[in-house]
Chains A and B, each alone.
Chain A
């Protein structure tokens, strides 16, 4: 049965990818790429990788689709057709594909228990992490503790991306004032949506907090929680306008929060060093190592959530201000 589902999902993936390559309507392309992510998420779910599926669904299908739609508002809906036929590029793509397929020939069999990945480091994660880290969700122990330094790096990647967008899309004071005065939200007239969102928003935000603090026990954690929180705020912004949303989250506050998330994560590492352990060695945080691990993981996940949410909201705000500028100021 599982094989059947895998085959169906994979063939949908191929079809979606081909459609994306073929289409010129960028709106449809963005929608399809959202579907692509959702299919990938289902595939991960079928592989029992719930955490990865959750991340893919919230980041890939959720927030990145939203951000792509926001940028579509700036660049227009249709791709310009070119006569140019990039044969060389096609050749490179084919060669890459051929090498990838060649690489699969000697791979361990799908799902094989003898595969090296299941034999070397994984057994310790699976068998001992409960005793060493004390967190039921093994993915969280690997992500936040065993390989916690990688996660600090990933958080910094998100932060860097935010800095990149902030420095590229500058917003003049004039745009902001214009926006404050007379720009209605895009979906101001949608009364049903407005009512629904008013009811839904608290639930979304609470769900984000649940995902944030429940990552130790079930799928979830800072990355997913951050994007869900941001998605809630973005939904609100679309219906009630940027000026309302940015009164709650002024740009400077968002920048500070993004920085604070990284500093919290790194700060936990420094505190571990001051208490006599290595960088990010949570064991030194408390007398009981497992308690230390709990506290450490809780704090670093909070750092991740802060940075991710702040960066995502910032990126969306920047795009929206740009749209305002194009629509009202440059005419």
Chain B
């Protein structure tokens, strides 16, 4: 069975999704989805262990050797992200068992869990594959199911938000497929490893150039790089809380992975930089994105929207770190991918707990909740501290590596800007603290108290992870470093 781990990673949730329609009963379907995602998580643990022991694993689907057939290729980079995505997928579902009761009518639970598992399948499929067209197929699965998850939100505005995302996402996907198509035309292959071998022969053709352009713009739409992020805040604000927590923790991360994989394993970083001024573009968009969206976050009245803007800002940090173009910079990107997922999952689940008790995510409804929901609010503050980058939290580790990488290149003006931008995070987190602890409650309702343990436990697992990986960085930094060095060494064997 060990040999089949790469495919089991994807087909467990893939077959779990249609099975949800057979299970049907609302209660059972939730538990079934939880079981499926837990198995998926265990598979990812085993897979990471295998990769750390034996190096890259290749799996030929249908028994056909690449490039004729499709191949799964698991190396440090994707096994690390597989672990992250499937862990988030499972933890969030623990909280969903009660949270979803409040936000969705029972008749829709089955559809919610089906869409959730489909989304998980799509994201894991993108991560596993070594085939450029297969990326597109699974991108579509994850995208269509995310639109569904968002549209299931209670607020009518969820529909517009989902529609907006659908349009932007479809444009992104179209650009990606144009890029893949043009590359196929010039090389005759879809396998990423094979593409990397054959692209250099046609490097100076205009067709390959525009292919790279289309692909990168398409992925940047998906990962919500400023200024292509306009779909994200509403989508996160109006989706059911569970969906927001899951998508915020995983979906943009996977798009960042696609960008990294494409630049490093397919095109090659030197070439990507010679055809397009990628470094300059990413530095400018990254840093302006950090400031523009952090400032927008300060003015938000809805706390989900606030953290959605902050998510776009965090993408800015990742892209900035990527633009540094050194192994240390890439390590910082990969670290922040992981760490940011931990923060946002904890934060959005805590907000979900408030929606569960109070029924709203407006900032004004958080007034005085510090006394009524002490544990949830403590988790919210812990997540916020991690977001700012206070020592002992994962946020600090991310920022530390980012600053180190910037200084290594002698980019001290950017270092100053990055440090300064953390102050903006202090402001928006402080606004929440002010409402939560210093405002008097609107109306004191008996029922408003901490959520049931099924929500509190996953929140605190994530909060614990925020501190644990802030102190013991051997897993995250270790794997990120190895992945970054492998990518710079051009190793994708």
**Chain A residues proximal to chain B, CB less than 8 Å:** 99-100, 102-108, 115-122, 124-125, 145-150, 152-154, 156-157, 159-161, 163-164, 166-168, 170, 255-256, 258-260, 262-263, 266-267, 269-270, 273, 277-284
Contact = CB atoms under 8 A, between A and B. Distances in A.
B61 A278 contact: yes
Contact of A160 (B63, B145, B185): B145
A280 B62 contact: yes
7 contacts: A100-B210, A103-B182, A108-B186, A259-B18, A259-B19, A263-B18, A279-B7
Interface in B55-88: 59-64, 67-70
Interface residues of B, number: 62
Nearest to B121: A156
Interface string B10-21: 010011011101
B207 A105 contact: yes
Contacts of A157: 137, 140-141, 144
Contacts of A120: 67, 187-189, 198
Contact of B63 (A153, A166, A277): A277
A164 B148 contact: yes
Given A100-B210, A146-B69, A156 B118 contact: yes
A77 B18 CA distance: 36
B54 interface: no
A72 to B, nearest CB: 17
Interface of B: 4, 7, 11, 14-15, 17-19, 21-22, 59-64, 67-70, 107-108, 111-112, 114-115, 118, 121, 125, 131, 133-134, 137-138, 140-141, 144-145, 147-148, 151-152, 159, 178, 182, 184-189, 198, 202, 205-211, 213-214
A99 B212 CA distance: 11
A310 to B, nearest CB: 11
- Nearest 4 A/B pairs, CB to CB: A120-B188, A281-B63, A103-B210, A153-B137
Contacts of A277: 63
A282 B62 CA distance: 7
Contacts, number: 176
B141 A105 contact: no
Contacts of B138: 153
Contact of B137 (A103, A107, A154, A278): A154
Contact of A280 (B61, B115, B210, B214): B61
A263 B19 contact: yes
Given A99-B214, A167-B148, A170-B107, A121 B189 contact: yes
A170 B21 CA distance: 16
Nearest to A151: B137
A327 B121 CA distance: 39
Given A99-B214, A163-B114, A106 B144 contact: no
Nearest to A289: B63
A278 B63 contact: yes
Contact of B188 (A118, A166, A270): A118
Given A99-B214, A116-B187, A259 B62 contact: no
B132 to A, nearest CB: 11
Q: A105, A259, A282 — which one has the most chain B CB atoms within 10 A of its CB? A: A259
A281 B62 CA distance: 4
B185 A273 contact: no
Contact of B18 (A159, A270, A273, A280): A159
A121 B65 CA distance: 11
A94 B152 CA distance: 35
B11 A160 contact: no
Contacts of A103: 182, 206-207, 209-211, 214
Nearest to A282: B62
B187 A163 contact: no
A311 to B, nearest CB: 12
A266 B10 CA distance: 11
A293 to B, nearest CB: 10
Contacts of B59: 278-279
Contact of B64 (A115, A122, A146, A153): A146
A119 B188 CA distance: 7
Contacts of A152: 14
